[in-house]
Structure 1
Amino acid sequence: MDVPTNVLLPGERLLWSGRPQRLVLARFDWYQFVFGLLWLIATIVVPVARHEPLSLFAWAVGVGGVAFVWVPVVVRLRERRGVEYVVTDRRIVLADRFSGRARASAYLGTLPPPVARIRQDGSGTIVFGRSSRASLTALSAPWSLMAIGLVAVPEAGRVRDLIAWAQAGQA
């Protein structure tokens, strides 16, 4: 794994790095996708099925609402495609695989304990605490990838244990 060395702070030790195995919709993404679909049905499909004429404003509200809900999901999927997850003895860093820049980071001491949702193939999503929201320092977008956790992580159980071990100060 090529780890961007410019994301490590002085004295920081790399524990693990990896990238998402596949592009998957996280739970929050599914909620947004379903809400957008319901919005589309309510504002455009139902009126068209009833043969009601739609004004330009009605089309704008329908299409604009769907775009407002779905565009962030598409942006997150695109961002996730180019991310490298880096776990150090102090932080979790989401780095850009291509430029090597850190996109977001969070100190392990500020995060709740990690929880992994593991799939049959061993990959999974790691969230922090009971909810998937984490306090973090976002370096790019306001809806950081870290807000929904580390998605499609290979060997999610092992990575979760490694993060918990580092949080306990054992690293």
Structure 2
Amino acid sequence: MAEPIIVLEPGERLLWSGLPQRIALTGLEWFRLVFGSVMVAGFAAAAGLPVPDGEFPVVTVVLAVIGLAVVGGPVLWRLRTTRRAVYAVTDQRVVVADRVSGRTRRSEYLSDLEPPFVGLGQDGAGTLTLTRRDASTNLLGVSVPVRGAPAPIELFVPEADGLCALIVQAQTAD
């Protein structure tokens, strides 16, 4: 366990740290890329101005490039920021920081989080999702997200079950 470039608060003890593993596109991101690319290509072809024979269709290409940037930009940004992350779990908090700059991106106290949810992949690596207690409300037995609440923290780690048990243990120790 390597000491991350994260400033610990007074009295805080590091329990675990790690880097993201096997970052994959989500189903919604795949849909966005495929459907968006088809739509952008169709719109660019339909909006392309007629060009004289032998000339390059500049307007069509520009529209296609701008459209693909709009469709794929957010997906590529999430992949980039996730690859640059470093995770830390202390006896008080869960911290996600930028590995290059050392800047803390997200930090939540364990007492403010619901028990983690683990989604395991076929290779044993998993996604650990940590949601704030005030980020959802229970409506007739169904958890409904609260508008404007912070997004859950997702940790892409190889030992998701073990980390989940560690977080639950730290939460019950409070």
Q: Same fold (TM over 0.5)?
A: yes
Aligned length: 154
CA separation of 1:57 and 1:105: change in aligned 2, threshold 3 A: farther
Quick one: which of 87, 90, 99 aligns to 2:89?
87
Please give the residue correspondences for 1:7-22 in structure 2 after superposition, counting only pairs within 5 Å: 7-22=7-22
Confirm or deny: 8 A CA contact 1:33 1:69 kept in the other structure: no
Give the root-mean-square deviation of aligned CA atoms.
3.2
How big is each residue's C-alpha offset from its partner over 1:64-99, in whole Å with a ceiling of 9 and x where there is no partner? Answer: 343223212111211111211101111110122233
Q: Which runs of 5+ in 1 are unaligned?
A: 137-145
Matched, 1:166 2:170: yes
Structure-1 separation of matches of 2:129 and 2:166: 14
Matched AA of 2:171: Q
Q: Which runs of 5+ in 2 are unaligned?
A: 50-57, 132-142
Quick one: which of 147, 152, 155 aligns to 2:159?
155
Alpha-carbon distance, 1:47 to partner = 7.0
Structure-2 separation of matches of 1:68 and 1:158: 38
Alpha-carbon distance, 1:112 to partner = 1.9
What SS class does the counterpart of residue 106 from structure 2 fall into?
A: strand
The equivalent of 2:36 in structure 1 is 39
Query: Which structure would you say has the larger Rg?
Result: 2
The equivalent of 1:64 in structure 2 is 66
The equivalent of 2:98 in structure 1 is 96
Alpha-carbon distance, 1:46 to partner = 7.2
Structure-2 separation of matches of 1:114 and 1:54: 50
The equivalent of 1:111 in structure 2 is 113
The equivalent of 1:54 in structure 2 is 48
Q: Percent identity?
A: 40
